[in-house]
Structure 1
Amino acid sequence: MANESPAAFYEIMVTDEIFQEIADCTNIFAENEISNKESSRLIKIHQWIPTNHSEIKKFFGLIMFMGIVKLPRLTDYWSKDAILSHPFLERIMSRDRFQTILQMLHFSVDDETNKTDPSHYTRKLLDALNSNFAKYFSPAEDLFIQKGPLLFCGKDTQTKLPKRTRLVKLCSAPGYVCKVGLFVRKNVGAMNDILVNTVMTLCSDRLNKGHTLYTDDCLTNVDLARKLLENETHLVGYLRKHRLQPPMEVTGAKLEAGSFIARESYDGITVMKLREKEVSLLLSTKHSAQFASKCTKSGKNVIKPQIIIDYEKAEEAVHLCDKIAETSSTCTLLEPMKWYKKLAIDLLLNIAVVNALTLYKSMTNKNIQIVDFRKELVVYLCQKNTNDQEEETTMAEPTLEAIKHKLIKKVGPVRLNRRTCHQCYKDKTKVMGRMLAKNRSPKVATYCENCPNKPFLCLTCFNKTHC
């Protein structure tokens, strides 16, 4: 793939089968919502048209475009204003269609049978992406597990305890995400077991291969270190002092500035407490209490524990991955939505893009900025698929630009044919309500013959909506 385009690398990360699965789940969810009378009264989906994988690709392409071109409101992307208007979006998809797909977007078909498990919403998507991530990249010796921000917080219907869901990523240099998982916390008392099971599940494909696993203070504990040692995998990370497994001789020691204390167990687990500017508690199954010199950015040589030096080196892969993802990321206007939709968008348009960019740079030896890489992907996602051309024509909505509109005066006496201007009434209803808008909107005898329902319009509104 030395001569392939960015779209080819993204296509092996997110295949057409994944987009087709999203389209199928979205159609099933929309049909269920339409059949639900209570939901159908609140949601304007009575004219829902089934989508396909080609339109879903365009939908995600528009979200990626919104991450590159920032506007204050979502509706501004389809504005007729000369400053805010973007003809690119209008050619791809209408505003109403975009909002309808966003409202119906779904990734699972088993909602009723998995009400107590929040992870089912994106489980199939996670499995498909993880399979593709592992297929084309061989990670380095050092791996870093990062615990992401809180995605979901609710209560378990059975235990009534808080249930929290977070994203955890297994990263490798030079900024590649090898695997993604969900950390679901259901029981406060079994917190230690949940942490161990989450890490062991995430690293199941990397065990017994001589890797060194670096974790933050949220995931590091002695039980996890012993589990990994049984599978020939090292663990290095910061440790929280309230964890009860480390020796109290180390965690409870009072140190002066520049001093440290360390103890090593019979099975090779080293716990070190160090006081520099701050007090740090470290755990490692790979190091002992040895120190080494490190050159800082200012050119000074400082003496640090070898545990910290190796930890900071492995952490650079995560920082690079996050830095690339934050640059020109997805649209921030989509924040007020369901947590699993935000997670899926992050997986498809951030993590998968960063992995595709990493492979592209390593295979082609070309240095490309993430913004330019995303621009290439927007063109790929929004392009017209010739295989689905017939299907798209049947589901495409007629656009106003494709029709030649003409303002016509209704035949007959004006005083009998006058009606309220449809657009003026619509605009004023948002500001002053229906009663005042009905009285203050002008009445005209002209209408647009080619518009659906032939609405009555004044000359100003006709030019505003059709020119």
Structure 2
Amino acid sequence: MTSKNEISEELASRMNSALSLKIGNDDLDESTSQSENESDSEWETMSESEWSISDSDWSIGGDTESGSDTEEEFSASSASSATPSLLQWSDEIRSAKVCPFKLKPGLKESCGKSPVDFFKLLFTRSLFEFIVNNINNYAMKIINQSHQGRRFKEVTVNEFYVFFGLILNIGTMNSNVVDDYWRTRPLVENPEDFMSPVRFGVILKCLNFEHELPGKNNKMSKISHMIDYFNIIMRKVVNPDKVLCIVESMTVPCYEHVYLLIDEFDLVHKLVVYQSDEKPGPYVAKSLLEDKLDVGHSIYISDDYNSLELTKFLIDRNTYVTGPIKRKRFGVLEEVKDKPLENLEKIVKYNADGICVTKWKDRREIIMISSEYSGEWLTYKVNKQKIKKPICVLEYNKYRDSFEKCNEIMGLYYFSCGEKTHTTNKYKRLGVHILQILVLNAYILYKKYGGESMSLIDFRTVVVKHLLSHGKRRI
């Protein structure tokens, strides 16, 4: 096992090597090198201690602990070690365990009120230096392998600001939002004023996020550093609200599974990545909630990640769970699972921990599990018509509708880094996807804690203009 100090030293050496890059680029104006130094103070730099990766942090990065961490083995091992409370169920109503919420939601750090301030809050200069260092190293590797004497002009941090600004601009141009086509002022009227198409293509080709560390899976090392950065910066910047949900990101065009922990405002607090041949099931929830336990969160999850054993595990850690559950993960409750129901009929069972299992039929049968809400009927009116549903179903539906907007919002102004058939570039696409989630997070934080109200495209416009202000091509 690699020690924490060894990992920290390796990471520190990588960051230091980024700082020692030779700055030089004929495509930028001569004044760019001066503005490079002047702008250093504008961007926050995370110290080595703030970006150091502990052993527990690596488990957050998306790797399963072993090849046996599959959905099937999770169910088998859980069934064989079921606690007594999961074996004993009754019709008697049991009160849910009281888990008071102990966190104070909101920003942990002071920040300005402008869109650029919130962008810089999540995009530290250390992140850009790491990416620039990777680009330059990969470019030299290509040149050495091809044995050609071509001269590569090293990418500077300021030039990468411009490059990233153009990526965001391309995503806006590809928007499917009809109203955006009627905007009178485009984000960038002439992109070639800032970077030539050839130079943009070279940087895009060399763009990579690989960071090799001892003990890491070779495949995941291509993206693990970006995953760790995302999770660490979000944990450092903001405390989540009480209500959280687990969803799968459907936007990223690659063959890996990206799972997100989001709140009701669509702010992504954490992500994990599993490889395409893995079926992690409830392990997704355990990975995402690893550092969110014991503070009273209410978690809403779909049947893809839910189970009786997971609900028991989380309520023991003062964390509520509400959501549907698959029949194959239903454990010993054969009576509930197999009994046929008439329309608007339900079966409700409780255990000693206050966990409620409700089977309810309305057009189709739904099995819900909740450690926070009961299965009692709640009547409400819709268009003067009385409708009744179990409380746990109503609570899940209330938040599910808002959570389903997450992928829709993420798909707006999205830059797709190549075709999904090019599997060799899937980790590059995954890295760009993480950067775009960070941009969306910056916008959501700005809406909650920033200044005046602003649409997403206007926020991106301000950020793009700021990034492009770091340099123009020399005419």
TM-score by length of 1: 0.68
CA separation in 2, counterparts of 1:380 and 1:150?
26
- Deviation string 1:311-370 (CA, Å, 9 cap, x unpaired) is 122224423433432333335766565222222222212x21222122212223522111
Contact kept, 8 Å, 2:114 with 2:450, in 1: the verdict is no
1:165 to 256, 278, 300: 256
Structure 1 residues 365, 5: closer, same or farther in 2, change over 3 A? closer
1:128 to 229, 235, 241: 229
Q: Name the structure 2 match of 1:103.
A: 205
Query: SS state of the match for residue 223, structure 2?
Result: helix
| Cα distance, 1:30 vs structure 2 | 2.1
Query: SS state of the match for residue 368, structure 2?
Result: strand
Confirm whether residue 139 of structure 1 aligns to residue 240 of structure 2.
yes
- Deviation string 1:51-77 (CA, Å, 9 cap, x unpaired) is 1222222222111101112399xxxxx
Letter in 2 for 1:305: P
CA separation in 1, counterparts of 2:384 and 2:291?
40
Confirm whether residue 178 of structure 1 aligns to residue 287 of structure 2.
no
Q: Name the structure 2 match of 1:360.
A: 446
Query: SS state of the match for residue 373, structure 2?
Result: coil
Alignment of 1:301-316 (within 5 A): 301-316=386-401
Query: SS state of the match for residue 272, structure 2?
Result: strand
Q: Name the structure 1 match of 2:172.
A: 68
Q: Name the structure 2 match of 1:251.
A: 337
Contact kept, 8 Å, 1:146 with 1:170, in 2: the verdict is yes
CA separation in 2, counterparts of 1:328 and 1:3?
25
| Cα distance, 1:273 vs structure 2 | 1.8
CA separation in 1, counterparts of 2:317 and 2:142?
48
Letter in 2 for 1:177: V
Q: Name the structure 1 match of 2:133.
A: 24
Alignment of 1:312-323 (within 5 A): 312-323=397-408
Structure 1 residues 294, 7: closer, same or farther in 2, change over 3 A? farther
Confirm whether residue 347 of structure 1 aligns to residue 434 of structure 2.
yes
Relative to total residues, which structure has the larger strand share, 1 or 2?
A: 1
| Cα distance, 1:94 vs structure 2 | 0.8
Q: Gaps spanning 5+ residues in structure 1: where?
A: 73-83, 154-163, 386-391, 403-467
Aligned residue-pair number: 354
Contact kept, 8 Å, 1:171 with 1:317, in 2: the verdict is no
CA separation in 2, counterparts of 1:126 and 1:28?
21
CA separation in 2, counterparts of 1:259 and 1:71?
46
CA separation in 2, counterparts of 1:67 and 1:299?
45
| Cα distance, 1:88 vs structure 2 | 2.4
Q: Gaps spanning 5+ residues in structure 2: where?
A: 1-109, 177-185
Structure 1 residues 365, 95: closer, same or farther in 2, change over 3 A? closer
CA separation in 2, counterparts of 1:257 and 1:113?
55
CA separation in 2, counterparts of 1:172 and 1:286?
17
Which of the two has higher C-alpha Rg?
A: 1
CA separation in 1, counterparts of 2:421 and 2:114?
34
| Cα distance, 1:246 vs structure 2 | 5.3
| Cα distance, 1:48 vs structure 2 | 2.7
Q: Name the structure 1 match of 2:195.
A: 93
CA separation in 1, counterparts of 2:323 and 2:335?
19
Query: SS state of the match for residue 381, structure 1?
Result: helix
Query: SS state of the match for residue 353, structure 1?
Result: helix
Q: Name the structure 1 match of 2:41.
A: none
TM-score by length of 2: 0.67
Structure 1 residues 342, 151: closer, same or farther in 2, change over 3 A? same
Q: Name the structure 2 match of 1:327.
A: 412
2:300 to 194, 214, 231: 214
Contact kept, 8 Å, 1:141 with 1:212, in 2: the verdict is yes
CA separation in 1, counterparts of 2:442 and 2:252?
24
Letter in 1 for 2:155: T
Deviates further, 206-215 or 287-296 = 287-296
- Deviation string 1:8-30 (CA, Å, 9 cap, x unpaired) is 10111111111111111122222
Structure with bigger RCO (C-alpha 8 Å, 6+ apart): 2
Query: SS state of the match for residue 35, structure 1?
Result: helix
Query: SS state of the match for residue 60, structure 1?
Result: helix
Letter in 2 for 1:5: S
Runs of 4+ off more than 6 Å? 150-153
- Deviation string 1:68-109 (CA, Å, 9 cap, x unpaired) is 12399xxxxxxxxxxx9x752101111111111111111014
Identity of aligned residues (%): 23
CA separation in 1, counterparts of 2:160 and 2:393?
45
Deviates further, 310-319 or 221-230 = 310-319
- Deviation string 1:109-153 (CA, Å, 9 cap, x unpaired) is 429986x55332221112222222223322222111112349698
CA separation in 2, counterparts of 1:94 and 1:265?
66
Q: Name the structure 2 match of 1:10.
A: 119
- Deviation string 1:214-240 (CA, Å, 9 cap, x unpaired) is 111110012211221221111111112
CA separation in 1, counterparts of 2:192 and 2:388?
59
Letter in 2 for 1:255: L
CA separation in 2, counterparts of 1:48 and 1:88?
25
Letter in 2 for 1:168: Y
Contact kept, 8 Å, 1:152 with 1:166, in 2: the verdict is no
